[in-house]
Amino acid sequence: MSPYITASLLFGLLLGTTITATSSHWLIAWMGLEINTLAIIPLMAQHHHPRAVEATTKYFLTQATAAAMLLFASTTNAWLTGQWELQQMTHPLPSTLIILALALKIGLAPLHTWLPEVLQGLDLTTGLVLSTWQKLAPFALLLQLQPNNPTLLVILGVLSTLIGGWGGLNQTQLRKILAYSSIAHLGWMILILQFSPTLTLLTLMLYLIMTSSAFLTFILNKTTTINALATSWAKTPILTSLLPLVLLSLGGLPPLTGFMPKWLILQELTKHDLAPTATLAALSALLSLYFYLRLSYAMTLTIAPNNLTGTLPWRTQTTQPNMMTATMTASSILLLPMTPGILTLFNI
């Protein structure tokens, strides 16, 4: 693809997200989401592979359905209350519809089934954009909503953490594992959204850092399956020794960065007399931790298959810029001691 076209599409992604994040009117917000979707579709289909085209079609259909639901809900709200403002979602019917539409957009369970299939059909770079940047616009809307009844959000959150954990257990493809990891993390964010929106924002920020770090490492090593991880030692030994820490951080183990949001969310849920929900969420984190441990084991404790037809790749000097990878990896591992400063920054 021409660099001019790529630059235009990336500008479209930036513009769509910015319009949605800064709008206070439902029609403008919907327009931003549409620009965002239309900008990423050519990036997804650029390889002209049947699998990529299939993933693009699935993505387009789900996003179009979610956008239509959102437009219908905002029109219904205008009809019932006479208000188009984002802050004026007072009626329960359009409020529920909009939450479900945005849940479909980001891939929350039980509306998650498209996400692993779509991510599996894309290359890792586009998958990184889909797993990180594409979550920003819907979350900008969710953070501005003020639903009266938190039950729906808690149900969506608990279901997502459980399904995100269960779904990834039997996978061998890294992109599907990362998709289920994404669903589980989104569940944690939605779980606390009603009680502490700033904590949701902090969790989203840390999720973006950790997921970017994992994706960038896989892009550098050109690995898409668990078995291929075993050859990482020959390519980037130092990064390979750090990636298990990033994966365990995604799983939420102390003393790594990923422990911070889980710890704060469980504390906040307990404060609101939701100890059973907090217990269920904590147990579901163990499911996710299992498949992160699987990846860590495959990467560090197994020897790559080495025979006459397939030898270990030689360690060659990479020409890929890796400043971003280094920054994200360091942030994914080392931010926990800075928790008090981060809490002050976010006013939590």
Q: Which residue has the tokens 């493809």?
A: 173
| C-alpha dist (Å) from residue 314 to 231, 275, 302, 311 | 10, 52, 18, 9
Sequence letter at residue 231: T
Side chain identity, residue 338:
M
H/E/C letters for each residue in 290-341?
A: HHHHHHHHHHHCCCCCCCCCCCCCCCCCCCCCCHHHHHHHHHHHHCHHHHHH
Give the type of residue at 163.
I
What does the pLDDT read at residue 304?
61
- CA separation for the pair 148, 91 (Å, rounded): 9
Give the per-residue pLDDT at 301.
Answer: 81
Contact between residue 183 and residue 108 where contact means Cβ atoms under 8 Å apart? yes
pLDDT by residue (tens digit) across 7-55?
999 999 999 999 999 999 999 999 999 999 999 999 999 888 899 999 9
Q: What is the model's pLDDT at position 132?
A: 94
Q: Residue 37 is inside which H or E element, if any?
A: helix 26-44
pLDDT for residue 249:
95
> Cα separations (Å) of 152 from 99, 147, 238, 252, 286?
9, 9, 44, 25, 24
**What sections of 107-236 are H helices per DSSP?**
114-120, 124-131, 136-144, 151-167, 174-193, 197-221, 232-235
CB-CB neighbours of 321 under 10 Å: 8
Residue-level pLDDT at 313: 55
Q: In 45-91, which residue ranges form alpha helices assigned H by DSSP?
A: 50-81
Question: What whole-number distance in Å separates Cα of residue 301 and Cα of residue 278?
Answer: 33
Using CA atoms, how far residue 258 sits from 156, 251, 335, in Å, is 21, 7, 9
| pTM, full prediction | 0.92
| C-alpha–C-alpha distance, residues 230 and 223, integer Å | 9
Q: What is the pLDDT of residue 308?
A: 47
Phi, psi of 89 (to 5 degrees): -85, 75
Domain boundaries, the chain: 1-123, 149-306+323-347
pLDDT 10s per residue in the chain (348 long)?
888 999 999 999 999 999 999 999 999 999 999 999 999 999 999 888 899 999 999 999 999 999 999 999 999 999 998 888 888 888 889 999 999 999 999 999 899 999 999 999 999 999 999 999 999 999 999 998 877 778 899 999 999 999 999 999 989 999 999 999 999 999 999 999 999 999 999 999 999 999 999 999 999 888 889 888 887 877 788 888 899 999 999 999 989 999 999 999 999 999 999 999 999 999 999 999 999 999 999 888 876 655 544 455 555 566 667 888 889 889 999 989 998 998 998 888
Nearest to 82 by CA among 90, 72, 71, 93: 90
